[in-house]
Amino acid sequence: MALFGTDGVRGLANGTLTADLALNLAQATAVVLGQGRFAEARRAEGRRTKAVIARDSRISGDFLGAAVAAGLAASGVDVYDADVIPTPALAFLVNDFDADFGIMISASHNPAPDNGIKIFARGGVKLPDVVEQRIEEHLVTEKLLPTGRDVGRIARFADAEDRYLLHLLGALPARLDGLHVVLDCANGAASGVSPQLFADAGARVTVVGADPDGMNINDGVGSTHLEVLQRAVVGHGADIGIAHDGDADRCLAVDASGKVLDGDQIMAILAVSMHERGRLVDNTLVATVMSNLGLQLAMERHGIRVLQTSVGDRYVLEAMNAGGYALGGEQSGHVIIKEYATTGDGLLTGLQLTAEMARTGRSLADLASIMTVLPQTMINVDGVDKEGVGDEEVQAAVRAVEAELGDSGRVLLRPSGTEALVRVMVEASTHEIAQDAAERLATVVRERLAL
C-alpha cells in the first residue's frame, strides 16, 4: 500500500504515523531531495543543504516535528524550524529562503488526533508522484549518515512569520480600511498570523477560533464548520467572514447576510477581477471536474475559459505550471494565485477577496452574483467494482441523463481513489431534477458493478 496519499502522508499520530516513521521519512527525503544539480552546486560553493520545517497547532506536532528535525540533522541537513505557521507560509519560505526543501507537519482539516507530513521541493512546490515513490523506496534502504562537523544543525527560524506577512501585504491590491472582517482560524496554524495580516491591511477585525490548545483544531470551527462564523458575521454586522482550515491552505467566505461562498464562487470573483485588470493569463481559469457547472457558465459570459483537471490541488497546479496560467483552484477553497503563491493559500485568497470589495466598493453578495450555483447531488455507491465505470450499460445511462439535462446540467461518475465505491454526481436546474437523475444512475451503477 502506498504511503503517500493525495496530500502527503497522513494518519493517526502515534498510531500509523509514529516518530520512527517521521524520522525515517525525513532521512529518505534528505537523500532524494538533497541530490541533483542544485544541491551539488550548493556544496561546490561550500554551502550546506538546508530545509525549513513547520507545523500546525496539534499537540502531536511537537514530537513529530522533533523527529523530523532529528532525521534531517542526522542526514547532514541544516534545519530551520519555523514553529507554528500555515502550510502556504512554509511553501513561501522554502522559496524565499532558498532552501532545498521543506516539510510541513499537518493534517489540514482532519481532527486533532490525526497528523500528517507534507513535503515541498525547492521553490516551495509539492512533489510529483514519481518523487514521492522514490522517497518511499529509500525508506527501506540503508543510509550512510555523516559524522562530526558534517551533521546538520537545528535553528529557530526567528523571522519566518514576519517574512510571510510582508509578502502577503506586498500582494495587496487595495487597503481594507473601513471593512469589518470576521476571521475563523479553526484554532489552527493561522490563529496568530491571519488576524495580524488583516489588521495590518487596514480592516477592523473580529476573531473566532483562534485559541489553539493542541486538541481543539478544527473542532466545531473553521472551513468545515461554518456555523460559528455565520453567526459571528451576522451578529457583529460585519462585511465579510473568512474561514480557514487547520493549516490555512484553504479559504471559504461568508457574506454579510451569513450566506456561504465556496471555492468556485471565490474563484469566479477573482477571475473576473483579474480578467478586467489584464492579469488573467490567456483568459483562463484552472478548476477541477468537481467544480460547479455554474462556474463554467459564469466564466463563459465573461469571456473566460475554464480548463478542467482531475480532483486535487496538485493537478490544478500542474496544469497551471504547464500553461503558465495565473489562477486555479478547487470548490473546497484551495485557491492558487500563481503570481504570489506556489500552493493554495487561504490567507492570500481571503485577503484578495476582501480587497476586491474595497477596490470596487461592492458588497460580497453583489460580487458573488456573477455566478449562479446549480444544485448538485452526490451519491456514493459502495460495494462495487470502481474500475468498471466504463461499462457500456452504465455509460448508456449516463448519456441518457445528459441528453435529458441538455445545457442546464451535467453528470460525473468518478471512482474513489481510496475506497471501493463510485461517486455519482449530477448538477441540474433544480435539486429535485438532480436528485432524481443521481438516484437513477446510482441504481444502474449498483446493479451493473456489484462485487
The reply to whether 108 sits in an annotated binding site is yes
Query: Is 209 a residue whose pLDDT tops 80?
Result: yes
Best CA proximity match to 437, nearest among 372, 375, 373, 371: 375
Flag whether pLDDT at 1 surpasses 70. Answer: no
Mean pLDDT of the chain: 94
Spatial separation of the C-alpha atoms in residues 58 and 49, rounded to whole Å: 28
Could you read off the pLDDT of 61-108 as tens digits, one per residue?
999 999 999 999 999 999 999 999 999 999 999 999 999 999 999 999
Residue pLDDT, tens place only, 143-154: 889 999 999 999
pLDDT score of 417: 66
Catalytic (active site) residue 310:
no
- What 3-state DSSP class applies to 428? coil
Confidence of residue 168 (pLDDT cuts 50, 70, 90): very high
Annotate 229-250 with b (16+ C-beta within 10 A) or e (fewer).
bbebbbeeebbbbbbbbbbbbb
| Residue 450 binned pLDDT confidence (cut-offs 50, 70, 90) | confident
Confidence of residue 163 (pLDDT cuts 50, 70, 90): very high
Check 60, 106, 108, 273 and give the catalytic one: 108
**Amino acid identity for residue 424 in this structure:** V
- Identity of the residue numbered 300: E
Q: Give, to the nearest 10 degrees, the angle between helix 293-301 and helix 263-276.
A: 10
**pLDDT band (50, 70, 90) for residue 259:** very high
Rounded-to-integer distance, Cα 433 and Cα 410, Å: 11
Residue 249 counted as an annotated binding residue: yes
Q: Write out the three cell numbers for 203.
A: 480592516
Alpha carbon distance 360, 374 (integer Å): 26
Model confidence at 225, in pLDDT bands (50, 70, 90)? very high
User: In this predicted model, which residue has the larger pLDDT, 314 or 13?
Assistant: 13
Cβ atoms of residues 344 and 88 within 8 Å:
yes
Q: What is the pLDDT of residue 140?
A: 85
Residue 112 has pLDDT above 80, yes or no: yes
Answer yes or no: is pLDDT of 43 > 90.
Answer: no
Residue 291 near residue 299 (C-beta atoms within 8 A): no
d(CA 187, CA 58): 9
According to DSSP, residue 257 is labeled T
**For 339-369, how does the pLDDT look when each residue is reduced to its tens digit (9 = 90+)?**
999 999 999 999 999 999 999 999 999 999 9
Domains of the chain: 9-158 (3.40.120.10), 171-368 (3.40.120.10), 376-448 (3.30.310.50)
Q: What b-and-e string marks burial along 325-363, b requiring 16 or more CB atoms within 10 Å of the CB? A: bbbbbbbbbbbbbbebbbbbbbbbbbbbbbbbbbeeeee
The better pLDDT of the pair 428, 43 is held by: 428
> Phi and psi for 384 in degrees, rounded to 5?
-125, 165
57 among annotated binding-site residues: no
Mean pLDDT of 408-431: 87
CA distances from 60 to 105, 116, 380 (A): 9, 10, 32
Q: How many CB atoms lie within 10 A of CB 138?
A: 18
What is the structure's pLDDT at 84? 98
pLDDT at residue 45 tops 80: no
- Identify the CA nearest to 401 among candidates 432, 422, 373, 427: 427
Q: Which residues of 18-36 are buried (b: 16+ CB within 10 A; e: fewer)?
A: bbebbbbbbbbbbbbbbee
Among the ranges given (58-62, 176-180, 314-318), the one the predictor scored with the smallest mean pLDDT: 314-318
Cβ contact 235:200 at 8 Å: no
Q: How confident is the model at residue 37 (pLDDT cuts 50, 70, 90)?
A: low
Q: Rg (Cα) of the chain, in Å, rounded?
A: 23
- Pick from 345, 316, 325: nearest CA to 333: 345
- Over 70: is that where the pLDDT of 418 sits? no
pLDDT tier, 444 (very low <50, low <70, confident <90, very high otherwise)? very high
- For the chain, percent of residues with pLDDT exceeding 90: 86
370 pLDDT higher than 60: yes
